[in-house]
Amino acid sequence: MKDLMGLMGKAKEMQAKFEAMQQEIAELEASGQSGGGLVNVTLSGKGEMKQLKIDPSLFKEDDVEILEDLILAAHNDAKAKAEALMQEKTKELTAGLPIPPGFKLPF
């Protein structure tokens, strides 16, 4: 019975740590760029676009498709960086837990 109570206590402690980590991840920001810095995108830890900066030299009618591609590339760069930060935070929290490799947590 002691083991069960200890396990329940650890589960509640872990839940509190996961909630704190989710809040921390939500507050993270990751910036990505493309076109040698001509387009910059900043995303929150939840993947919401927080900021978009476009160099004025890209505002030419003939370059609309290029600009669209650069925005997508910058967004994808920022998203990859945000995901890497989230994985790092998750690894820190789950260190020592018997979680199978590749197992995704519910967030």
Please give the pLDDT value at position 32.
92
CA–CA gap between residue 38 and residue 59 (Å, rounded): 11
Task: Give residues with Cβ within 8 angstroms of 70, minimum separation 6.
Answer: 34, 35, 38, 39, 58
Total-model pTM: 0.58
Mean pLDDT for each 10-residue chunk of the chain (107 residues)?
A: 73 82 83 91 85 86 82 89 84 67 56
- What pLDDT, on the 0 to 100 scale, is given for residue 10? 78
- Give me the pLDDT at residue 36, please: 93
